[in-house]
């Protein structure tokens, strides 16, 4: 099988922590297996997966583990290793309800279960005792929520003996759609890398015409530091869904302005490229020509599309975005098209460096990659407005302390930055970041907040030996 979706046999000692927590939570019972799904760091390509464009992440060693035992009772009992701060849930395994109006950690578990059961038509799923233990910090922009969805979906597959009935890419796509149950209109990057990641490799993930990935070999001397701003990113409190709607509105207005005959079918910015056959730089120029800088109201968009306002609201507003919202179509579309180009250039530079297998051009390669990361952060901050004061400060500190390039990673509005530097200076870079940003924070907080990282493996199930 492809990377991801692996099932391996493992001794309980390899999962000693989560097995012990399961026993404590369920009266001494032992789990039968552990489903694991990693978080991720996105090197470049922010907020463009839901527009249909390629991204370049890799998986982290930090992951979500769900220790599980299937039962004959059609009931899910879901508990969290963090105890009282995360209330447990007991609910029917058959079509468990998800209240997307409430922020609740169990919604992510239920979304993974529901997505798989619906896709594979599992009408009478096994009940499960589930104990979740996540080492991906929540609200950090490292895909903690998607790692829960993937781990829960994988546990459901294994418990119901359906591992062979779905391939890894299809499984990742199901997990991406499942997360929509919760209310976030994501694009699919987080689930794809969590499932399909390979040790030592970044992945160029593409979504059209269907989900595909290819390995990208990063320069051997390249090291990466992830640093948490300690501002918790909340996609619901943020403008995440508004950005999705803005991109959809921008695509429609651009398509109409370019006199495309199928403009009413254009819902994503990538649809516009497919229909127009324009290159990314031409599309960026078209944004400047056809979209005004500044704010559009829904009435402004309706006039541009020559449609009743009510029809525009019905077609394009979703994810809780209100008709009274204001939309910056020019800036959002310009970010998407220029960011999409940066992703392809980043991969091209890495491919070229790998092909030469020489260290003589490391400085040039690093400078080029770093420049793309810096440009990406500026675009996220200025055009997409998904940064915050703390993220901007942390990026500046990374650069001052020796990073070749640095940018926010994840949805933004808090969370983490990722910094590129030669492996030889990572210790000094980390020390400088710690001194400049974290000050007198406790050592355990700092250890979890700023760390060097390398690409790790994707999701897997460990069948626990007796």
Residues 6+ apart with CB under 8 A from 34: 10, 15, 18, 19, 65, 66, 67, 68, 461, 462, 464
Q: How far apart are CA 180 and CA 100, in angstroms?
A: 9
Structural contact between residues 219 and 404, judged by C-beta atoms closer than 8 angstroms: no
Structural contact between residues 200 and 406, judged by C-beta atoms closer than 8 angstroms: no
The pair of three-digit structure tokens given for residue 429, joined into one six-digit string: 């870079």
Compute the Cα dihedral for 150, 152, 153, 159 and give only its sign: positive
Active site residue 95: no
β-bridge mates for residue 213, sequence order: 205
Q: Is 108 helix (H, G, I), strand (E, B) or coil?
A: helix
- Burial label for 371, CB within 10 Å (0-12, 13-18, 19+), is middle
Active-site choice (99, 123, 165, 190): 190
Task: Give which of 141, 144, 175 is closest to 65, Cα–Cα.
Answer: 144
Q: How far apart are CA 410 and CA 42, in angstroms?
A: 7
Q: Is 43 helix (H, G, I), strand (E, B) or coil?
A: strand
State the DSSP string of 268-280: SHHHHHHHH---H
Query: Which residue numbers are catalytic?
Result: 190
């Amino acid at each position: 099988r492809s990377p991801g979706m692996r099932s391996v046999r493992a001794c309980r000692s390899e999962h000693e922590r989560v097995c012990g927590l399961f026993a404590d939570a369920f009266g001494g019972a032992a789990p039968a297996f552990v489903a694991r799904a990693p978080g991720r760091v996105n090197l470049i390509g922010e907020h463009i997966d839901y527009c249909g464009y390629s991204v370049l992440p890799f998986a982290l060693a930090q992951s979500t583990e769900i220790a599980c035992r299937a039962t004959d009772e059609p009931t899910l009992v879901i508990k969290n290793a963090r105890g009282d701060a995360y209330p447990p849930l007991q609910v029917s395994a058959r079509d468990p309800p998800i209240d997307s109006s409430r922020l609740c950690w169990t919604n992510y578990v239920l979304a993974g279960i529901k997505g798989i059961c619906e896709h594979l038509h599992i009408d009478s799923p096994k009940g499960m005792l589930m104990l979740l233990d996540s080492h991906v910090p929540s609200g950090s922009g490292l895909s903690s929520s998607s790692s829960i969805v993937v781990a829960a979906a994988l546990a459901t597959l294994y418990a119901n003996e359906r591992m062979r009935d779905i391939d890894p890419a299809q499984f990742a796509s199901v997990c991406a759609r499942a997360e929509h149950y919760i209310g976030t209109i994501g694009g699919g990057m987080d689930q794809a890398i969590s499932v399909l990641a390979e040790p030592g490799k970044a992945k160029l993930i593409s979504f059209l015409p269907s989900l595909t990935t290819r390995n990208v070999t990063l320069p051997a001397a390249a090291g990466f530091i992830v640093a948490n701003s300690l501002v918790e990113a909340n996609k619901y409190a943020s403008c995440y869904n508004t950005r999705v709607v803005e991109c959809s509105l921008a695509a429609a207005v651009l398509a109409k302005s370019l006199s495309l005959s199928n403009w009413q079918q254009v819902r994503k910015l990538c649809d516009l490229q497919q229909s127009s056959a324009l290159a990314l730089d031409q599309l960026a120029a078209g944004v400047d020509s056809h979209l005004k800088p500044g704010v559009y109201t829904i009435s402004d968009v309706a006039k541009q599309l020559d449609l009743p306002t009510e029809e525009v609201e019905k077609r394009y507003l979703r994810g809780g975005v209100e008709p009274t919202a204001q939309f910056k179509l020019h800036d959002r579309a310009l970010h998407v098209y220029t960011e999409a180009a940066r992703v392809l250039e980043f991969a091209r530079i890495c491919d070229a460096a790998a092909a030469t297998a020489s260290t003589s051009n490391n400085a040039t390669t690093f400078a080029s990659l770093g420049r793309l990361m810096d440009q990406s952060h500026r675009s996220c901050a200025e055009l997409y407005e998904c940064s915050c004061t703390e993220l901007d400060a942390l990026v500046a500190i990374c650069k001052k302390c020796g990073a070749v390039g640095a940018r926010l990673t994840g949805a933004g509005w808090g969370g983490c930055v990722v910094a590129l530097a030669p492996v030889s200076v990572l210790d000094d870079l980390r020390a400088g970041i710690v001194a400049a940003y974290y000050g007198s924070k406790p050592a355990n907080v700092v250890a979890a907040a700023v760390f060097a990282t390398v690409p790790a493996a994707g999701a897997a199930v460990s069948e626990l030996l007796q």
